[in-house]
Amino acid sequence: MSSTVAAQKLTREDWRKKKELEEARKAGTAPAEVDEEGRDINPHIPQYISQAPWYVSLGRPSLTHQRPQEEKQRQFSTISEWYKKGVKEGPKATKFRDGACENCGSMTHKKKDCLERPRKTGAKYTGKDIAPDEHVQPQLSFDWDAKRDRWNGYNPDSHKEVVEEYKKIEMAKRKLKEEMLEGVLSGKLPESAIVKEDSDDSEDEEKYADQADMWGQKFDSKTRTTVRNLRIREDTAKYLFNLDINSAYYDPKTRSMRENPFNSNAGPDTAKYPGENFVRHTGDIKKFAHAQMFAWEAYEHGSDIHPLADPTKLELMHSEFKNKKENFKGEQKKSILERYGGEEHLDAPPKALLLAQTEEYVEYSRLGNVVRGQEKAVAKSKYDEDVYVNNHASVWGSFWREGQWGYACCHSLVKLSYCTGETGKLAQLSSQFTVVSESKGERDEEEEGEGEEEAQMSLLEQHKAKLEASGKKKKKEKGKERDEQEAEKAAVREEKIRKAMVEQERKEKEVDAMMTIEERKRPYHSMRAESGREPTEEEMEAFRLKRRRADDPMAKFLK
């Protein structure tokens, strides 16, 4: 209905008919209203939008009052319009005009706004050297984007001047180089002149390379390229560590994540990103907080001191307070012990050692992770420890003799043997004493025989025999040293081979684990092989030892 009809006072019957017509139009059984341009008006539009105010009402159904009015639209300046700076307009005047500047004679400003040098006698009185009128630029109107456009008003043609300047410099350098080459070919200039010119260019590039070496860039003066060091793809953004909506909050505006996105039980050293609160509570922050609290407490007791105005005085007072507090506690403890006794109970071992049990509370989750309390101690070895077999009172490897391991309880050098206790120790000592005595007797007999032979030989023969014996002894010692060195080298090589085999097993396990993961979910460069390094002899030997042989009948039983 039109605004005029709506403004009239309707009877009850007319109001009922109006409502029925509106419902029919909304249901689609009656045709919609048409505006002055012949377009249908949506019957679902609310009345406060479709009904025009009294001061713009046209007397018929219309939505013109909701559309932008062309005569009221603000005309913005185009992208090509800008302020003309330093432009003079019209021909230069020959005589002074009324209302012009008394200093220069221009009509576009007054004497107080004149930018020329103040003349001794102004143009108003001399009528000479009248300045031309400046271009009066109307006020330009820009929209929101044009006001914030950093290149608004920039003329791209002005960059041609820079290009032309560099072209001229390049042409001058090329011409100078051609003249120097002609001079070298004609013999007027030495060959070092061209090299010196090239070195000067490289020095200039080195000089400007320092300025170009900004953060995030790398300038190479030899290749004349600038490489952008972007963030590598292996780096994970802090907001991608944990995608749980209940995890640590990430503020995209300040790019801060104060809490730890990982499990709260994980320590800051093990977590990839411990959170910014961890950094806020490191260093001297706690120390400063304690000093601030001490200053507040001192102010309550009558000492007005500020931690920023008097830091040295505050530090001295704080250290003196701590010393007095420790001395007071020590004297108080000493007086209580002197009066009541019980000092022996202070040095007692902890209850965990006395009763072999503790009251430390540990709470676990359904997955077996420690939720609250002390974490479970990590096992030292994957092998069984302190396991006694065959009635032994000690483990294998607790005894050592002549390069062999054994049991300390019976000195037996045979693994998994039955323990004989003290009897086995006595038997081992007696057998050792017998062997030592026999070897000593043989040595004495040999010395006696050598003495008899020496007595039968002359002095010259004895001297020759001693020289031969010493030479044999030296050769024997050198051979022994050589054997020891070779044994050490062999042991070192065996150790390297063992480490190479362990490393190869680890790499094979990693490759097998990666092969089980879908290719699109694997980490970046996870299957890339090591490059730029040749394998060592130990690694090749480990590969040969670990390689499966098809002709081996037991190869099919390997897992």
The pLDDT score that the predictor gives to residue 420 is 85
Which pLDDT band, with edges at 50, 70 and 90, does 256 fall under? confident
Spatial distance between the Cα atoms of 127 and 141, rounded to a whole number of angstroms: 38
Residue 224 has pLDDT above 60, yes or no: no
- Pick from 85-89, 186-190, 254-258, 266-270 the range whose average pLDDT is largest: 254-258
Is the pLDDT higher at 163 or at 357? 163
Mean pLDDT of 287-314: 88
* Per-residue pLDDT reduced to its tens digit, 372-405: 776 556 666 767 777 888 888 888 888 888 888 8
Residue 162 has pLDDT above 80, yes or no: yes
342-348-352 Cα angle (round to 5): 135
3-class secondary structure, 128: coil
How far is C-alpha 542 from the chain's CA centre?
37
The pLDDT score that the predictor gives to residue 2 is 44
Handedness of CA 405, 407, 410, 414 (dihedral sign): negative
Spatial distance between the Cα atoms of 425 and 393, rounded to a whole number of angstroms: 13
Which pLDDT band, with edges at 50, 70 and 90, does 550 fall under? low
Mean pLDDT of 424-431: 80
- Pick from 140-144, 275-279, 439-443 the range whose average pLDDT is largest: 140-144
The pLDDT score that the predictor gives to residue 4 is 46
Residue 328 has pLDDT above 90, yes or no: yes
Is the pLDDT higher at 179 or at 362? 179
Spatial distance between the Cα atoms of 9 and 60, rounded to a whole number of angstroms: 17
* Per-residue pLDDT reduced to its tens digit, 463-490: 677 777 777 777 777 777 888 888 888 8
3-class secondary structure, 364: strand
Query: How many Cβ atoms from other residues are within 10 Å of residue 130's Cβ?
Result: 20
Lowest-pLDDT choice from 106-115, 156-165, 286-295, 537-546: 537-546
- The answer for residues whose C-beta is within 8 angstroms of residue 31's C-beta and 6 or more apart is 25
- Pick from 221-230, 357-366, 403-412 the range whose average pLDDT is largest: 403-412
476: amino acid identity, one letter: K
Is the pLDDT higher at 540 or at 229? 540
Spatial distance between the Cα atoms of 251 and 265, rounded to a whole number of angstroms: 23
Lowest-pLDDT choice from 36-40, 344-348, 515-519, 554-558: 554-558
pTM for the model:
0.24
Tokens 């704080």 sit at which residue? Answer: 318
Residue 165 has pLDDT above 90, yes or no: yes
